Structure 1
Amino acid sequence: MQKSTKKFVYGVLLGVLGIVLFSSKAVMVKLAYNYQVDTISILLLRMVFSFPFYVVIALLYRNKGSIASISRKDYYWVVIFGIVGYYLASYFDFEGLNYLKASLERIILFIYPTVVLLLNKIFLKKPISKIQAGAIILTYLGIVIAFGTEVSISGSDTYLGGFFIVLSAITYASYLVGSGWLIPKFGVVKFTSYAMLVSCLAVFVHYGLTYSGDIFSLPWQVYALGFLIAIFATVIPSYLVSASIKMINSSNFAVLAGLGPISTIILAAIFLNEKLTYLQLLGALVVIIGILIVSIKSNKSK
């Protein structure tokens, strides 16, 4: 096997592993909710267990990147995007999972590339091609098919869950759009670590201001799930995905990303006994096709 081919295969394997691990997050959050834990508590545990890793990584990479070109204003923006992209997006996501199936959460959250296109169009005046516009319409048609069927099955709480997941997609997309000019200055690893540390601190403050219970009296299963969410559904996949994109490029990774909703549906069926109707599976397929078109077209135009 040639060196370039071997590198590509390794990149694909790393990407698939990262996507599957990311997809497990919603399933583990739903499992934690079975023990009557609230949103901010499980989010706190995720950040508490993640925090030391990001501190170490931030220290290791503190002298890397274009340090001379980084201003105090840039650090202010890191704080803003850390709050928007990882604290708010995570909080809305975890809150939405109180009311929605894990498999549907992943399908709705998967629309964030279309939100990036729309935000770029509105605020940065970047054009949207006819193919991209058609793909966006196709994506939201898939959401309507998958989501509308669930309302008739699970009731009106589905609307609330869907609302929170859409907010999560919008805030995460805002982070991607707004932070694009900062990443070249800091470097991907350094910027991600700094943004995650800001997010951790925001969650700590949120918990301190709003929670009156005892974080030390939860069932041991909740702590175990919090640890697994932090390490195996947050820290490890974030770097696996970065390594994969570096090895196979973002266009090829966009194709792999379509495995996200599929792996969540499979994991949710195994561990949560969730079942999607044939119509919902059709909706999921439509969403995946739409996002693949948007992602591949966007990457080719760069």
Structure 2
Amino acid sequence: MTTSTMQPAARQAFLAGLFIAISGAILFSAKAIVAKLIYRYQVDAVTLIALRMLFSLPFFALVAGWRARRDAPLATADRLRIVFLGLLGYYLSSFLDFIGLQYISAGLERLILFLTPSFVLISSVFYLKKRISRVEWLALATAYSGTVLVFLHDVRTGGPDVALGSAFVLGSAISYAIYLLLSGELVRRVGAMRLVAYAMCVSSIACVAQFFLLRAPEVLIQPAAVYQLSLVNAVFCTVLPVFLTMVAVDRIGAPTTSQAGMIGPVSTLFMGAAILGEPITVYQIAGTVLVLCGIYLLSKKKT
């Protein structure tokens, strides 16, 4: 059933869910913009991610505490799985992403991260023995060609550090793809909200512990603007997108939410131009269109 054939109330509910999904995707993509603004104050990735998770932790801890009181206790094996997934999917992935953002544009970062669904598909070939259809191969080729196009353009204009930054962000996308692949069964057993809240608490603790292992405590003393941007990064680019996406999945389903997330690279491209002064080139537009077409083909195949 399309939105045009829905009853008015059902159509309004669908459009509301779609708006929530789009809002979550744009807010989550904005973390690259906020990170770039924080880097202007000579803050490194270790400090940036520690401040982000320090401000995020109270929100996720409240949700985790609420779910812990409401739900049955977890088995020890599930607790260990959540710790592992939190370290892999949120700690490692975020850390590699923010390191990479020191060297590449926000637009290229978002394009690389948007390849995560394709990495999930490729991983399923090796671990789940899944066969890739011709449509899926076409989707992969289209998406990767778009990223390569933007990457080659940025290497020519941005210097050798673009390759290093892209490698870090690629590592981030791969680690998050593995997280998604491994979390499927646990989500069904534990619940999405509970899993995300617990995993984010694990990630937050790991990021803060990493800071105190690698940096002196006085490094946390930063200009007021850094705290303000970190609070924005935590609330509007981390906590809100996580829960908005979960609400959207509940209202309109995971496939439609995934397709709505395709607005992410586009929004980052234009936010980068408007806020950071990053140029929008023909190569970036062409690469973004190719990536979006590739991921759209993948999402349609899954449905």
Same fold by TM (over 0.5)? yes
Matched, 1:58 2:54: no
C-alpha deviation, 1:116, in angstroms: 0.4
Which residue number corresponds to residue 256 of structure 2?
252
Which residue number corresponds to residue 141 of structure 2?
137
Question: How high is the TM-score relative to the length of structure 2?
Answer: 0.95
C-alpha deviation, 1:208, in angstroms: 1.4
Aligned length: 297
C-alpha deviation, 1:3, in angstroms: 2.1
- Equivalent of 1:274 in 272, 278, 286: 278
C-alpha deviation, 1:207, in angstroms: 0.8
Cα deviations by residue, 1:182-216 (Å, 9 ceiling, x for unpaired): 01111111100000001011112211111136234
Matched, 1:11 2:17: yes
Matched, 1:176 2:185: no
Which residue number corresponds to residue 112 of structure 2?
108
Q: Which amino acid aligns with 1:238?
A: V
Q: Which amino acid aligns with 1:285?
A: V
Cα deviations by residue, 1:258-301 (Å, 9 ceiling, x for unpaired): 10000001111111000132022101110111011112212x1x
Query: How many angstroms apart in 2 are the aligned matches of 1:185 and 1:36?
Result: 43
Q: Choose 119-128 or 166-175, whichever is displaced more.
A: 119-128
Matched, 1:151 2:155: yes
CA RMSD of aligned residues (A): 1.3
Cα deviations by residue, 1:22-56 (Å, 9 ceiling, x for unpaired): 11100000000000001011100110000000110
Which residue number corresponds to residue 26 of structure 1?
32
Q: Are the aligned partners of 1:254 and 1:292 in contact in 2 as well (CA < 8 Å)?
A: no
Give the 5 Å matches for 1:1-302. 2-64=8-70, 67=72, 70-212=74-216, 214-298=218-302, 300=303
Query: How many angstroms apart in 2 are the aligned matches of 1:101 and 1:127?
Result: 35
Which runs of 5 or more residues in structure 2 are unaligned? 1-6
Question: How high is the TM-score relative to the length of structure 1?
Answer: 0.95
**SS of corresponding position for 2:185:** coil
Q: Are the aligned partners of 1:255 and 1:292 in contact in 2 as well (CA < 8 Å)?
A: yes
C-alpha deviation, 1:74, in angstroms: 1.1
Q: Are the aligned partners of 1:139 and 1:289 in contact in 2 as well (CA < 8 Å)?
A: yes
Q: Which amino acid aligns with 1:17?
A: S
Q: Are the aligned partners of 2:47 and 2:220 in contact in 1 as well (CA < 8 Å)?
A: no
Q: Are the aligned partners of 1:15 and 1:244 in contact in 2 as well (CA < 8 Å)?
A: yes
Q: Which amino acid aligns with 1:5?
A: R
C-alpha deviation, 1:180, in angstroms: 0.7
Cα deviations by residue, 1:101-139 (Å, 9 ceiling, x for unpaired): 011110111000000001111111122221111111111
Q: Which amino acid aligns with 1:288?
A: L
C-alpha deviation, 1:63, in angstroms: 4.4
Q: Choose 24-33 or 274-283, whichever is displaced more.
A: 274-283
Q: Which amino acid aligns with 1:190?
A: R
Q: Which amino acid aligns with 1:123?
A: Y
Q: Which amino acid aligns with 1:125?
A: K
C-alpha deviation, 1:76, in angstroms: 0.5
Runs (4+) of structure 1 exceeding 2 A deviation are: none
Query: How many angstroms apart in 2 are the aligned matches of 1:185 and 1:33?
Result: 40
Which runs of 5 or more residues in structure 1 are unaligned? none
Q: Which amino acid aligns with 1:198?
A: V
